[in-house]
Amino acid sequence: MNIMKKALVGIIMGSSSDSRIMHAAAEILDEFGVSHDDQIISAHRTPTRLDEYAKYAEKNGFKVIIAGAGGAAHLPGMIASHTVVPVIGVPILVYNDKQQKKSDKHKFSAFGGLDSLLSISEMPSGSPVVTVGVNKAGNAGIYALKILANESSSIKKMLKSHKDKQHKSVLKESEDLKRLGLKKFVKKKFK
C-alpha cells in the first residue's frame, strides 16, 4: 500500500558501502507506505552535487532528508547547510563495505563509528542535524515518519499502532520469561 506516491523523504548516503545500513530507513518507510527518493551523494567525491541535491530536494517538496555517512561523515552537515529541509543524520560504522577480501582489516571505521557520530552531531551553532545512534537508520525512518505525521492523520494512526505492537511484544516476552523461568527462557530465545 502506498499512501504517499510522491516522495516526501529523501534518503542519501555517502557511498554504496552505506547502503546495507541505510536500507533499514527505507524498510520502515515502505512498511508505512511512504515513498522515498534514494541516492548516493559523496560530500568528498562529488562535492558539486551537494548544492544540486539541496535544490532538487526543495523543488520536489521533500519534507525531510535522511543522510547517512561513515568516517569523516560530512554529508549530513553539508546538506543541512545548503537547505532548510530538516536533516536526520545516520552515523555509520560500516566502512568500505565494497571490499571483497574477507581478510581486509579496514572494513570498519578505526574509531568504531564514534568518528561519524561526532562529525554529524557536533554541527556548529546555526546549522543543526538531528542525529540518531550509530547504524540506527531504522530510527531515522521512524523519526521522519513522526515529522510527516504532523500533516498526516493516517501516518499518525499507524505510528500509534506501531507503538502498541512494541508494547504488546514486550508484554508477551515478559509473560514467556515468567512462565519458563530465566534459564529456560534464555535457552529458548538464544539457542
CB 126 → ligand RP5: shortest distance, Å?
24
Is 65 an interacting residue with respect to ligand RP5 (CB under 6 A)? no
If residue 189 lies in a helix (H) or strand (E), which one and from where to where? helix 182-190
Distance CA 135, CA 125 (A): 24
The binder of ligand RP5 chosen from 95, 120, 135, 140 (CB under 6 A): 95
DSSP string of 26-73? HHHHHHTTEEEEEEE--TTT-THHHHHHHHHHHHTT-SEEEEEEETT-
Enumerate residues 106-145 that contact ligand RP5 by CB under 6 A.
Answer: none
Identify whether the C-beta of residue 108 lies closer than 8 Å to the C-beta of residue 71.
no
The size of the interface with ligand RP5 (CB under 6 A), counted in residues, is 13
Kindly tell me which residue out of 25, 92, 132, 144 binds ligand RP5, with binding defined by CB under 6 A: 92
14 is an interface residue for ligand RP5 by CB under 6 A: yes
70 binds ligand RP5 per the rule CB under 6 A: yes
- Residues forming contacts to ligand RP5 in the complex (CB under 6 A) are 14-15, 17-18, 42, 44, 69-71, 92, 95-96, 98
